[in-house]
Chains A and B, each alone.
Chain A
Amino acid sequence: MNLSDTRRRMHGAALGGAAAVALLWAACLGVASPQAATSAAAVPRLADGHPDLNGTWDNGAGIDFLHPEKLPGGSVCVAGCDPPPAAPPPTARPRATGSAPRADFPQYRTQYLAKVKRLNDHQLQMDGVLHCRSPGLPRVGPPDKIVQTPGQVVFLYDDVSGAFWRIIPTDGRPHRTDVENSTLGDAVGHWEGDTLVVDSTKFTDDTWLTDNGAFHTSSMHVIERLRRVGDTLEWRVTVEDPAVLVEPWKIYRTAKLTDVELVEPTPCIDHDIVHAVDNTHHANPR
């Protein structure tokens, strides 16, 4: 998929109707519905009363577009198959101020637009994930597995760039002052009702918020809000980086509880980029 394809997808996702927006805002504002109340009641809990987030969570790994087909005789069409008969509607995403979801890209201050374009134009050289480096937060997405204990939550990630983890204390301690900045930052968590809130700081500035040159500074502040609704994990993220962003960037994704366990990490070895003869865009779905 090239850049124009990516943008078309972004714009497609922005075409949600007013009803979808209303539902989104109702969800964001915590407007209760009978169905939501039922789902919340059904959520399993640990002995400390908090919702049980333990488990492996399938967020689609960025390849929801892929619909492999098993064919007669043991053949398989992995990609390039005919599209499925009914594609799911585009996922609408919350917007900070408006009446319709926006294109899923951070809004940069005018003086930084040229930098975003320059980074995107030189994506093959500048995007660390193409060289098997950490995608950083929040680009790494929702956790693929959660290990929850009283006072601590561990997030595990099985990313195409490699395996990563975050150890998040939830016992009320403050951010550490004795650690270096990192791509995933320093995280502390706390519970607000049934929502796990993870606050992260101390980032390096060499990762992107998402594809296409979406840089950030080392002063970025990321707040993740995770809530279990039935067997769905909701992951809402707010990225604050006022030095370069016009407004906080908000994203929303979900993951489904799965009994398909993670496997040993797959090594990431970049053999590709050295053979690229031009700057043709390389998409990185997550």
Chain B
Amino acid sequence: MGYRGVSHRMGASLRSRTLLALGLAAAAPVSFAHHSVGGEFNTHQKLTLHGVVSSVEWANPHIYVHFDVEGPRGAVTDWRLETVPVAMMRKAGLTKAMLIGNAETATVDIYPARDGTPHLGYMLKITYRDGHHYQFAPDK
């Protein structure tokens, strides 16, 4: 698969772990308003990850969500998921704590990095265990 990696950060806050589940789906090219996602991420390949948000880098020009994904042998991989700038997140009323979501299990749809950097992606959508979700890009 190429996206499984050796855990380099065993998240202490990881309460419940789920098995790594990567779903590859053929995705149509997506046009993002005001962001050249296509220059850095493969918008033709949508992946689905299951795991836990371990931390959030609340920074410009893009917020990064750290997402711990546990592999079948228990190794945890830290995915770095780029998302929107702070001003957009604030306009939507979302906070760092809301993204962390009490460290409950979540599912994210992402586009992986085009340059082959492992465990780097652009987060399209995150859906938490209770079903509520935050969408950051057209869901097509």
Interface residues of chain A, those whose CB is within 8 Å of chain B, are 1-2, 5, 61-63, 65-66, 68, 70, 73-81, 124, 130, 132, 160-162, 266-272, 275-285
Question: Given contacts A161-B60, A266-B59, A280-B38, are A75 and B133 in contact (CB under 8 A)?
Answer: yes
- Is B88 located at the chain interface by the 8 A CB criterion? yes
Q: Which of A65, A74, A162, A271 contacts B34 (CB 8 A)?
A: A65
| CB–CB A79/B33 < 8 A | yes
9 A-B pairs with least C-beta separation: A280-B39, A80-B138, A68-B92, A74-B132, A282-B36, A78-B92, A268-B60, A280-B36, A77-B135
| CB–CB B39/A79 < 8 A | no
| CB–CB A75/B60 < 8 A | no
- Cα-based distance from A266 to B82 in the complex (angstroms): 16
Write out, one digit per residue, whether chain B residues 7-45 have a CB within 8 A of any chain A CB (1) or not (0). Answer: 000000000000000000000001111111011100000
Contacts of A78 in B (CB 8 A): 84, 88-89, 92, 94, 134-136
Interface segment out of the listed B48-56, B65-73, B111-119:
B111-119
Nearest to A61 among chain B residues (CB) is B87
Q: Which of A2, A70, A74 contacts B36 (CB 8 A)?
A: A2
| CB–CB B94/A277 < 8 A | no
- Is B61 located at the chain interface by the 8 A CB criterion? yes
Contacts of B59 in A (CB 8 A): 266-269
Contacts of A65 in B (CB 8 A): 33-34
17 contacts between A and B (CB under 8 A): A66-B33, A66-B92, A68-B91, A76-B135, A78-B88, A78-B134, A80-B124, A130-B61, A160-B85, A266-B60, A267-B59, A271-B80, A272-B62, A276-B36, A281-B39, A283-B36, A284-B34
Q: Could you tell me the distance in whole angstroms from the C-beta of B42 to the nearest C-beta in chain A?
A: 10
Q: Which of B30, B31, B94, B138 contacts A76 (CB 8 A)?
A: B94
124-140 of chain B: CB within 8 A of chain A: 124, 130-139
Contacts of B137 in A (CB 8 A): 79-80
- Is B79 located at the chain interface by the 8 A CB criterion? no
- Cα-based distance from A123 to B131 in the complex (angstroms): 40
- Is B120 located at the chain interface by the 8 A CB criterion? yes
Nearest to A6 among chain B residues (CB) is B34
- Is B2 located at the chain interface by the 8 A CB criterion? no
| CB–CB A285/B34 < 8 A | yes
Question: Given contacts A275-B114, A275-B115, A281-B36, are A81 and B58 in contact (CB under 8 A)?
Answer: no
| CB–CB A275/B134 < 8 A | no
| CB–CB B34/A283 < 8 A | yes
